[in-house]
Each structure stands twice: as structure tokens, then as C-alpha cells.
Amino acid sequence: MTPSPSGYETDRVTRLQHLLARLAPILLVGAVLVLVAACAPATGGAGASGSPAATPVHSQAPLEPAVLGASPFDLLAWLFTPIFQTLFIALVVLDKLLGNMLLAILALTVIIRLITMPITRKQLVASRQTQLLQPEIKEIQRKYKGDRVKQQAATQEFYRQRGINPAGGCLPMVATTGLLIPMYSVFSQGLTNYDITRMLRVGPVDFGQLLGITCPSAVNGPQFNPVHGYVTNACLSSTSTIFGIDWGIPEPFTTGLFVFGFGLSVLAIISSLVQLVSSRQLLPPHDPRTSDDPSVKTQRQMAYFLPFISILYGGVVPAGLMLYWIASSAIAIAQQFLVVGFGGIFPLFGWYPRRAREYRPRYHVTVPEPKPNAGNASSAAERAKAADRDLSALSTIRPNPNNRSRSGRRGRRR
């Protein structure tokens, strides 16, 4: 059995929560590359454009559900298809209703955040409760300093009484952030394919026919840009390009922003700033007593540094994914504000407004009290064991022969 984390390990779990919150997008984008390789149809020869300099980035085959095969990649693609298909059809329906891919992406983001709100709220409450219990954890560390066994046992008992799992805030976050994988494929595969009609069919229902979606380019085949190799006659190209940005490909390929050969994405910069606010908000409020704590320093350093990693991969992921991440982070800030308020946003360059110091969140999280029935349940169990012992002892006592009733004696005389 894996032992419960000690005080030191609890601090490490808390730091890992914030680290995972920022590293998860990068790790998931790496996993996306594996999934895309598994889910993308097989590539063919030169495109219909006949451009010899073009190296097609995506497949020339129509987009269609994966077929279960013997290889692990086929199995992974087959399992991944229902999630991809659900999100893709939802995006296409919203695009058809709103007539604008940008609005469709924002609407889909809101829907996803509303569906996952119970999970994210549980994550926020668990993280905040863990922060509130840190002073008592520090006291346990001080009390049993030098004795890791007692420290571990005391920490385990402390969390058990409070009903808190220190790692409980990580698992919901992984579940919600994991949507980046299918969303990446929705934008990079769905918005750049020249024939999506097969992916819009679910059993007997053909959403393409219901929505009146046809792909004229399916007759002539795909055509590729001779410079960056992306499809130029995508089926949804009429609505996927808004404000001069094609939301299915990286932003620099449509805006032309390159610095020393590195694609610069304005959306990635905005995403980094929004994530910076979100990560600082999740930090515990400023406390001068813990300013020298190494764990607190590490958390704040990560909150400053990790959000700006988005700038690095903003030039290689679809612009639609960056827009989705910006909108999702903005909604997360609003949700976090209801639970943790301003959190650790202030002080900012020495500025700490009074409203931020005195603000009380709408759904204020308090220090969890010990379970009221924990001790009673233990006492009841002990009383039940004592009663069982008494009954067992009485069953083994033989009756006293001198304590006989009169009727018994009469019966023997007869």
C-alpha cells in the first residue's frame, strides 16, 4: 500500500499541482502529435495543384472515422474517433448556425466549460482547502521534526479527519485539460480537409445533409499551398477564415509574422498573458510570514515563467486552438474569482488595493473541520466490540447448581 504523503511530500504535491497546470498543455500537445499520426488517413502523392515545392502537411485522403485494426495506433485512433467526431460535429453545427467560425469556437468553448464546471469546481475547492490547511501541516512538521514516520502518520490522520485528498485537485484538471488533444485535431484536421462529409455521418444520421454542407473540392481533390503545404481548398474554408486568420492552421502562416524564421503568434502572446493572470490567481494570498518559504517561492516563479511557454508553440499549433485556450482561460478566471477571489494576483509591483485585501468570494471556501462523526463512529465500533465480548463471555458461563428454582426440585422428586 502506498503511504500517504508526509508534510514534505504534501508541499511537493501542492507544487506539482501548479506545475502540472502549466505543463499539461505542452505535454498534451506532444501527445497530440502521436494521436494525429494515428488518426490521420494515409498520405498519398503530389496534390492536385501539382506544385513540386509543396510538401503536404496533412493527408490528401478524405476525413473519415478510423477503422479498428490490429496495430496499437489503429486501436488508439478508433477509441479517439467518437470524441473527435462529437466535438467536430458540434463545431460544424455552431458554425452553420452562427455563420462565423470565430463565434462557433467561442460558443463551443463556453459549452465545454459549462459541462465540465462541476469537475473544475471540485478541483478549485480541493486546491483551496489544501492551501488553507498548510499552516496546520507546517505545525505537524514542526512537532514531529526529525521523525518522518510519526510525521507521515500524523499527516495521514490529519487529512483523513478533514476528508481531504492532497492530490484531489490534480485529477479533475487532467480530465479537463485533456480536451486539448481532440480540440487540436478538430482544428488541424477538420478545418483543413477538403472532404469532411464522411466524418459528419453518425450511423443513419447524416449531419452534412441535414445542414446542407457539400464539399465541391471533393471532386477535384486537395490543392496545397506551395510554400507551407496546407490545403487551400478546404471544405470549410469559406467560414474558417475570419479577420484574415485561417483558424485551422498556425497563425504566422496567414499573418506572415516571422522573426528570424520563428513564427510569432499574437494569439499566443494574448494566451500567455491570460494564463499568467489565471496562474497567479490560484496562488495563495500574499502572506509575509511565508515569503521566505522555498515552496512558495517556487510556486510564484512557476506562475510567472510557465505561461509564457505558450509563445513557443503558438507558431506551430492551429490558431483555433489558441483562441479556444484564450477563451477557456478567461472563463476559468471568472470561475476562480467566484471561489478564490483575487487569490495571489496582488501585490502587483507593490500595489495591493484595499478591495483585493478585503474581498470575500461569493463561494467562499473555509478551513474544513474534522468530521463530527469520526470519533463517534470509532466509539460505537469499540462499544460494539465490547458488547460482543460480553455476550461471548456469558455464553460460556455454566449455570450455578445452587441457584435452582422450586419447580426444578419438584420435578426431580417425582
Angstrom distance (rounded) from CA 305 to CA 362: 30
pLDDT of residue 45: 31
Instruction: Tell whether the model's pLDDT for residue 258 goes beyond 60.
Output: yes
3-class DSSP state for residue 262?
strand
DSSP-assigned letters across all residues of 149-194:
HHHHHHHHHHHHHHT--TTTTHHHHHHHHTTHHHHHHIIIIITT-S
pLDDT of residue 110: 96
Contacts 24+ apart (CB under 8 A), 346-355: 346/286, 347/286, 352/286
3-class DSSP state for residue 373?
coil
Q: Tell me phi and psi for residue 9, to 5 degrees.
A: -70, -30
Q: Tell me phi and psi for residue 224, to 5 degrees.
A: -115, 145
Angstrom distance (rounded) from CA 256 to CA 235: 23
Q: Which three cell numbers stand for residue 133?
A: 490547511
Q: Compute the CA torsion angle 23, 28, 30, 33 (nearest 10 deg).
A: -160
pLDDT band at 228 (very low <50, low <70, confident <90, very high): confident
pLDDT by residue (tens digit) across 340-349? 999 888 888 8
Q: Is the dihedral of CA 378, 379, 384, 387 positive or negative?
A: positive
- Nearest Cα to 259, choosing from 187, 212, 314, 306? 314
pLDDT of residue 387: 43
| Average pLDDT across the chain, whole number | 77
Q: Are 154 and 370 in contact (CB under 8 A)?
A: no
**Mean pLDDT for the stretch of residues 169-175:** 65
Angstrom distance (rounded) from CA 174 to CA 24: 8
pLDDT of residue 348: 84
Q: Helices (H) and strands (E) in the chain — how many of each?
A: 19, 6
> Where in the chain are the domains?
7-51+63-358
Angstrom distance (rounded) from CA 106 to CA 267: 14
Instruction: Tell whether the model's pLDDT for residue 200 goes beyond 60.
Output: yes
pLDDT by residue (tens digit) across 76-111? 889 999 999 999 999 999 999 998 999 999 999 999
Helix axes 294-305, 266-281, angle to 10 degrees: 160
Instruction: Tell whether the model's pLDDT for residue 309 goes beyond 90.
Output: no
* Per-residue CA distances from 320 to 68, 158, 248 (Å): 29, 45, 6
**Mean pLDDT for the stretch of residues 176-198:** 89
pLDDT of residue 290: 64
Q: Are 318 and 250 in contact (CB under 8 A)?
A: yes
pLDDT of residue 52: 34
Helix runs in 221-342, H state only = 237-240, 252-255, 266-281, 294-305, 310-313, 319-340
281: number of CA atoms within 13 Å, CB side? 22
pLDDT by residue (tens digit) across 265-290? 999 999 999 999 999 998 887 776 66
pLDDT of residue 212: 92
Instruction: Tell whether the model's pLDDT for residue 378 goes beyond 60.
Output: no
Angstrom distance (rounded) from CA 104 to CA 95: 5
Instruction: Tell whether the model's pLDDT for residue 57 goes beyond 90.
Output: no
- Nearest Cα to 182, choosing from 198, 167, 199? 199
For residues 66 and 164, the model is more confident at 66
pLDDT by residue (tens digit) across 394-413? 445 555 555 444 444 444 44
Exposure of 199 by Cβ count < 10 A (0-12 exposed, 13-18 middle, 19+ buried)? buried
pLDDT band at 146 (very low <50, low <70, confident <90, very high): confident
pLDDT by residue (tens digit) across 10-51? 444 444 444 444 444 444 444 444 333 333 333 333 333 333
Q: Is the dihedral of CA 45, 51, 55, 59 positive or negative?
A: negative
Instruction: Tell whether the model's pLDDT for residue 208 goes beyond 90.
Output: yes
What's the chain's Rg over C-alpha atoms?
31
pLDDT by residue (tens digit) across 106-126? 999 999 999 999 888 888 888
- Nearest Cα to 280, choosing from 22, 10, 28? 22
Instruction: Tell whether the model's pLDDT for residue 390 goes beyond 60.
Output: no
Dmax (CA) of the chain: 123
